[in-house]
Amino acid sequence: MKLVKSLSICLLGASSLFASSLIEKAVDNGLKAIPANKAELMKLIDDKNDPITKEKVELGKKLYFDPRLSKSGIISCNTCHNIGLGGADGIPAAIGHGWTANPHHLNSPTVYNSVFFKAQFWDGRSPHLADQAQGPIQAGPEMAAPPKLVEQRINSIPEYVNEFQNAYGKDVKVDFKKITETIATFEKILVTPAPFDDYLNGNEDALSKEEKAGLNTFIDKGCASCHTGIALGGTMQPFELATKYKFASVGDFKGNEQGMVKTPTLRNITETAPYFHNGQIWSLSEAVKEMGSVQLGINISNKEAASIVTFLKALKGIKPDIAYPQLPESTINTAKPEFN
């Protein structure tokens, strides 16, 4: 009886030691948790020059959902970055103004946790969310709205003008830059803490034995070399390091001038198929194996891929409770929709 009890204690001790060492291993490989403490989180996502307030967030949410920011009046930020669909749109290439598919066949990345990205867009051309928000609104194949049109529509709606003054002060200039900065403020709060974060923050029971094994495989295979940091992605990395991506011919995207591509976040990855920059792989297991070949030059077995996918499921986080807003009504002076 004593021997059985001693063996049980040894096994429990070994299990606890493995969990602790795995947390250390994850941290040593650059993986970071979303802070459990709100004050610590705010240090990461807030900007002292443009602090997050509830007024800005609520106004930014309305603008994010408002299709009048598009030329046609029927496309909003939420169209391609759907809050209810993992922050993406669930199709291979984004569809925009005039039912136009993205000319480079680029897939819409998730907006969730994008505040943690070091670069925005697949080619990393924007350094932060406020700058990124300006691009799709103006782009012809997306929302196709010139800044002056956006400014006219928002300023023609007294309720919007009042909300801007309430958020920023009576002297605020409601221009295109301020409008997109406000959208970015809303996007900053779209953070989704997951069981993985609880685990890294010290709760060793937050992950199952199978999820821990998957995390260990994820690290050992080298996945964390690119999918790292709080976002498990969001940095610029070279692509096709070992072999050619098997769907490289779909679209003409080759990365930035240095051939670098933004590594997509793995947070909520089970919700954001199809995968890769051109949205050509629908199976998460297949995506894992393709990355092993393309980036690491290794063969990831079906068993290993299944283990990694088990871990990736633990990255599905708790979403902020976002209610669809009631938008202020247009006036007779609000510029009419344009479909050409």
228: three-class secondary structure by DSSP: coil
Q: Which of these, 269, 265, 297, lies nearest to 281 by C-alpha position? A: 269
Binding residue positions: 77, 80-81, 97, 223, 226-227, 291
Cα–Cα–Cα angle for 73, 79, 82, nearest 5°? 150
CA 214/CA 193 separation, integer angstroms: 19
CA 112/CA 86 separation, integer angstroms: 7
CA 195/CA 203 separation, integer angstroms: 9
DSSP 8-state class, residue 274 = S
- Residues designated as active site: 142
CA 62/CA 223 separation, integer angstroms: 37
Binding residue positions for heme c: 77, 80-81, 97, 223, 226-227, 291
CA 309/CA 285 separation, integer angstroms: 6
Whether the Cβ atoms of residue 195 and residue 203 lie closer than 8 Å to each other? no
Helix (H) / strand (E) containing 237: strand 236-238
If you search the block for the tokens 């020059």, which residue do you land on? 49
How many Cα atoms sit within 13 Å of 39 on the Cβ side? 0
CA 203/CA 137 separation, integer angstroms: 42
CA 296/CA 109 separation, integer angstroms: 23
